[in-house]
Amino acid sequence: MPFNQTAPKARTAAFTMGDAKTDASVRALPAAAKLSLGAMGDSASPAALARLNKALEDLATLRREAAIPILHEALAAMHADKAMEGADLALKALELDEQCGVGWHILAICREKANDFTTALRCYETALKLSPDEPEIANDLGRLAMRMGFKELAEQFFIAYLEKSPSSVAGANNLACAQRDLMNYEAAVETVRKAIFANPEAALLWNTLATILAEQGEVAGSIQFFDEALRLKPDFHSARYNRGGAKQSLGDPVGALEDTEAALPGVVLESERAMMGLARATMLLSAGRIAEGWDAYEVRFDPAYIDVTHFMIDRPQWTPDTPLEGKTLLVMGEQGLGDEVLFASIVPDLIQAAGPGGKVILAVEKRLVPLFARSFPEATVGEHGTLRVDHHTVRAPRFMDEAAMQAVDLWTPMASPLRAFRRQLLDFPLRQGFLTPDPERVAYWRTELARLESGPKVGVIWKSLVLDSARKRFYSPFDQWAPVLSTPGAVMVNLQYGDSTEEIARAKAELDVEIWTPPGIDLKNDLDDLTALCAALDIVIGPATATTNLAAAAGAELWLISTPGAWPKLGADHYPWYPQARVFTPSAYNAWEPVMAEIAAALAKRINKLRG
């Protein structure tokens, strides 16, 4: 574990900011809240503050009287949810006694609560160096590391904490959560199993066991363990919310809403409240309560939301009651690449609303600029830039200088206008595509595809490039694709970005199926050419990814493999965003075999019809 070698000066260490950096791979996360809450505790909980108070009382016997009253004031400020005030008081105390480990611990908690994660991490490490026998510091460090995405580091901190507090329920729980998020499910189950054996009445552990099962795709089986956690502790809001998330995944948005709304009153942490609020928004959308859902979806910009994107734009923000006619409107792409494409279906409406006297400016992911510029010639299109500042996402229109920004009347994140333009299913236009692929490249790919053996050319993609523990269960395992890939008469074309060498080799070795990989195209980065390729294919089959969104947005025939709880269906049995898309949804969560057989039968039927 990286600890500071010496305790830094209090004033300079506390406000050293992590360097802002630009990274082409850094993108704002999709605004879909985690549907499982690990319940990892809170460094500023009443019990934690009581421990710190006790530590201060112990310090009084060591003749450190000068700093102690100030640190008591800092704790009182934390208790009143005044993190910045608490940090200032802790700094004053540390100026009097720089070697006070409790003071650094208090300062770390205050900086964490103020979302200054980098400084908090340094302060925790200093506290641990000065107070190596205080195990709670390691536990707090682990929780912070989890929030910052340093899961391997968090695991090591929790292991260190358990070595000194082997009977701690919280320690075992937190270690199991870290192992779960690292997708080390066997270790996570074993950690929580041992803890449950020693503490069978600990609702916290039953909740975590349920989340581990859910993350592995055993969502239906997880319900009974959430039920047990709630039997043991009926007011356990995390378990109730998690059970709601499980119901959402199983295609029960009404039950999910009931649990989530029942959990919200018991939430103390604002970060949890924001996350639950975002989950509630997607549940409303899943239940077909579209207008309410879009209004609630604005919680994604709550500063307390852990994955919030901060937009560096000093112009008035559009609201649903603000007229657009004659205005210059800056529209910022948001969330993941697929979301930018999905939400871009609103752009034609915005151009029309601005009218001939107005102007729409689009800031989108760099790889989308050529495609969007062709598709929306009335708009000005450029790239946005995304920075990571102290582990927070910051986004700005990179191509616009100060003068161009001053000419903007209003700005909006791309999904927000849905609140005004898509409040019911009837508001979704029946148009087959809104993106325009390069016609020359479409013709080129049609020529290349014609060189292959006869039969419909079927583009296939089977997974997202990002498959963490929260996403993996939404994609059918490659093994389940066998009946689709083996459909007689179909010519399979690889659309899978990332390394697909192993899967393509397996298809050849085990099924004797050739999946043709188009030469000369980077399926991850050449998005304009990828869209043209999709438009040239007869059918594109796959789950919701950037590629399938691009295909459908360009008007290609998409066979979308959905899931029971997918909120973009908006309570319908189809995809309102793409009327031409055919949606295949498993009858039960994780029941991939029947739906893949259904797709294979539909494909065989299509081929037989084409053969006459």
> Which tens digits make up the pLDDT trace of 377-421?
999 999 999 887 766 789 999 999 999 999 999 999 999 999 999
What span, in angstroms and rounded, lies between the C-alpha atoms of 113 and 90? 14
Answer whether residue 64 shows pLDDT above 80: no
What span, in angstroms and rounded, lies between the C-alpha atoms of 269 and 41? 10
Closest CA to 145 of 74, 19, 43, 27: 43
Q: Which pLDDT score is estimated for 475?
A: 65
Q: What are the pLDDT digits (tens) for 455-509?
A: 999 999 998 655 444 445 566 688 899 999 999 999 999 999 988 899 999 999 9
What span, in angstroms and rounded, lies between the C-alpha atoms of 509 and 582? 30
And the tokens for 277?
Answer: 């609020």
Closest CA to 601 of 488, 512, 514, 507: 488
What span, in angstroms and rounded, lies between the C-alpha atoms of 236 and 206? 11
Partners of 516 in the β-ladder: 493
Q: Which pLDDT score is estimated for 17?
A: 27
CB-based contact 550:372 (threshold 8 Å) = no
User: How many alpha carbons fall within 13 Å on the CB side of residue 278?
Assistant: 23
Q: Please give the C-alpha separations between residue 410 and each of 28, 311, 320, 406, 584, in angstroms, as whole numbers.
A: 22, 13, 12, 10, 40
And the tokens for 95?
Answer: 């100026």
* Number of Cβ within a 10 Å radius of residue 504: 19
Out of 40-44, 492-496, 562-566, the most confident range is 492-496
What span, in angstroms and rounded, lies between the C-alpha atoms of 117 and 115? 5
Name the pLDDT band for 4 (thresholds 50, 70, 90).
very low
Amino acid at 375: S
Q: What are the pLDDT digits (tens) for 79-91?
A: 887 889 999 999 9
Q: What is the mean pLDDT of residues 262-284?
A: 92
3-state secondary structure of 460: strand
What span, in angstroms and rounded, lies between the C-alpha atoms of 535 and 254? 37
Q: Which pLDDT score is estimated for 272?
A: 87
Q: Which pLDDT score is estimated for 332?
A: 98
And the tokens for 17?
Answer: 């900011």
Q: Which pLDDT score is estimated for 5?
A: 28
pTM across the whole model? 0.84
What span, in angstroms and rounded, lies between the C-alpha atoms of 134 and 136? 6
What span, in angstroms and rounded, lies between the C-alpha atoms of 216 and 221? 11
Answer whether residue 29 shows pLDDT above 60: no
Residue 471 carries which DSSP code? T
Rounded to the nearest integer, the mean pLDDT of the chain is 87
Q: Which pLDDT score is estimated for 435?
A: 98
| Percent of the chain's residues with pLDDT above 70 | 87
Q: What is the mean pLDDT of residues 356-380?
A: 97
* Number of Cβ within a 10 Å radius of residue 288: 16
What span, in angstroms and rounded, lies between the C-alpha atoms of 472 and 463? 8
- CA 253 to chain centroid, in Å, comes to 19
Q: Where are the alpha helices (DSSP H) in 97-150?
A: 101-113, 117-130, 135-147
CB-based contact 329:410 (threshold 8 Å) = yes
Closest CA to 195 of 159, 170, 226: 170
Q: Which pLDDT score is estimated for 469?
A: 46
Instruction: Compute and round to an integer the Cα radius of gyration of the chain.
Output: 26
Q: What are the pLDDT digits (tens) for 503-542?
A: 999 999 999 999 999 999 999 999 999 999 999 999 999 9
Q: Which residue has better confidence, 203 or 29?
A: 203
Q: What are the pLDDT digits (tens) for 545-561?
A: 999 999 999 999 999 99
Q: Which pLDDT score is estimated for 569?
A: 95
CB-based contact 155:182 (threshold 8 Å) = yes
- Roughly how many angstroms between the first and final C-alpha of the chain, as a whole number? 68
Residue 122 carries which DSSP code? H
Answer whether residue 94 shows pLDDT above 80: yes
For the purposes of burial, counting CB atoms within 10 Å of the CB of 149, is it exposed (0-12), middle (13-18) or buried (19 or more)?
Answer: exposed
Please calculate the CA angle 363-366-368 and round it to the nearest 5 degrees: 80
Q: Which pLDDT score is estimated for 22?
A: 40
Query: 């990286």: which residue's tokens?
Result: 2
Residue 410: which H helix or E strand, with range?
strand 410-413
Q: Which pLDDT score is estimated for 31?
A: 54
Residues 6+ apart with CB under 8 A from 186: none
Please calculate the CA angle 24-365-280 and round it to the nearest 5 degrees: 105
Amino acid at 458: V
Residue 22: which H helix or E strand, with range?
strand 21-22
Residue 577 carries which DSSP code? T
Q: What is the full DSSP assignment across 283-348?
A: HHHHTT-HHHHHHHHGGGG-TTSTTPEEE---SPBP-TTS--TT-EEEEE--SSHHHHHHHGGGHH
Answer whether residue 11 shows pLDDT above 80: no
Residues 6+ apart with CB under 8 A from 270: 302, 304
Q: Which pLDDT score is estimated for 135?
A: 85
